[in-house]
């Protein structure tokens, strides 16, 4: 969910002439909204004239230099969509002081989480407060690597999610996380599963144009400066276009190096 800030001048049918509207959209987070008002462009009266929440006019008092939009009195549910429209005089604009309090935050709780021997990651959650994507991460090559995304449903109810992961040989470790619009991040607990697949090997082609693996695997190739020059999944890497030199290669759950 995103915060939208729009300004549109209009002749409104509700009796306000030469007016404009400020529209904010978000999710109800059990917090009210605070507005810094301004003097009208004519120097008489305050800028804001009327407040609507989800299309309904509220009783909030706008005739002051600052006022509160009382969302708590509207019997909104936590995580519910909220659209606030501030009708105001043309030529001035009220300022919403705490728009971040309408942004979805990663508040999920994981009830169960497991991964099957065939690579089906399943997790059950509750208490989501916004439709944020779940980022699936796998721990390999000494770091957490994003391997996919699943859109979260965003409500406090119980939800079940699944994702097919590609496992490497040996022990595999996974987690999910959400990142809020204000850069706050929440990680789940880790879950592990042991793969019975054999550890692949690799060999350089005689002409130096490629790397062959004995089985399909995810890989990353870095140059001497740590820059990723090749990345993907498969049984072969084409390195014909790489200059001669030393390279570091991550594949399966292995970190190694080769020379071209």
CA 129 to CA 106: how far, in whole Å?
7
CATH code for the domain of 140: 2.60.40.10
* Look-up of token digits 């009327």: 50
The three-state secondary structure class of 68 is strand
150 domain residue, yes or no:
yes
User: What's the CA gap between 49 and 250, in Å, rounded?
Assistant: 61
Tell me whether residue 194 is exposed, middle or buried, using C-beta atoms within 10 angstroms of its C-beta: 0 to 12, 13 to 18, 19 or more: exposed
Q: What's the domain range around 219?
A: 202-259
Q: Is the pTM of this model over 0.75?
A: no
Q: Are strands 202-204 and 19-27 parallel, antiparallel or unpaired?
A: unpaired
Number of structural domains in the chain: 3
Give the pLDDT band of residue 16 (cuts 50, 70, 90).
low
In a domain, 54, yes or no: yes
For 9, list phi and psi in degrees, rounded to 5: -75, 145
Decide if 1 is inside a domain. no
User: Of 71, 102, 133, at which residue does a domain stop?
Assistant: 102
157/216 same-domain check: no
At 140-167, the pLDDT tens digits run 999 999 999 999 998 889 999 999 999 9
Helix (H, G, I), strand (E, B) or coil at 38: coil
Residues 74 and 160 in one domain: no
Of the pLDDT bands very low, low, confident and very high (cuts 50, 70, 90), residue 129 is confident
Contact between residue 254 and residue 219 where contact means Cβ atoms under 8 Å apart: no
Is residue 30 situated within a structural domain?
Answer: yes
Q: Are residues 189 and 207 in the same domain?
A: no
Distance CA 169, CA 201 (A): 11
- 69 touches 53 (CB < 8 A): yes
pLDDT tens, 105-125? 899 999 999 999 999 999 999
- Of 195, 212, 238, the residue that ends a domain is 195
């Amino acid at each position: 969910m995103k915060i939208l800030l729009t300004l549109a001048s209009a002749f409104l049918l509700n009796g306000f002439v030469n007016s404009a509207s400020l529209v904010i959209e978000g999710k109800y987070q059990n917090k009210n909204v605070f507005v810094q008002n301004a003097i009208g462009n004519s120097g008489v009266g305050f800028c804001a004239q009327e407040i609507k929440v989800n299309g309904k006019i509220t009783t909030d008092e706008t005739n002051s230099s600052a006022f509160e939009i009382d969302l708590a009195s509207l019997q909104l549910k936590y995580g519910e969509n909220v659209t606030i429209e501030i009708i105001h005089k043309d030529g001035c604009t009220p300022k919403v002081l705490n728009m971040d309090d309408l942004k979805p935050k990663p508040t999920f709780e994981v009830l169960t989480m497991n991964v099957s021997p065939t690579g089906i990651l399943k997790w059950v959650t509750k208490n989501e407060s916004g439709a944020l994507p779940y980022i699936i991460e796998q721990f390999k090559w000494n770091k957490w690597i994003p391997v996919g995304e699943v859109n979260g449903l965003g409500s406090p109810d119980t939800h079940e999610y699944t994702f097919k992961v590609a496992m490497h040989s040996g022990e595999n470790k996974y987690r999910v996380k959400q990142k809020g619009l204000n850069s706050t991040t929440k990680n789940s607990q880790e879950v592990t599963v042991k793969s019975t697949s054999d550890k692949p090997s690799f060999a350089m082609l005689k002409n130096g144009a490629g790397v062959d693996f004995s089985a399909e695997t995810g890989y990353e190739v870095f140059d001497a400066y740590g820059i990723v020059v090749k990345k993907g999944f498969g049984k072969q890497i084409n390195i014909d276009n790489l200059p001669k030199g030393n390279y570091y290669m991550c594949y399966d759950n292995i970190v190694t190096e080769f020379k071209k």
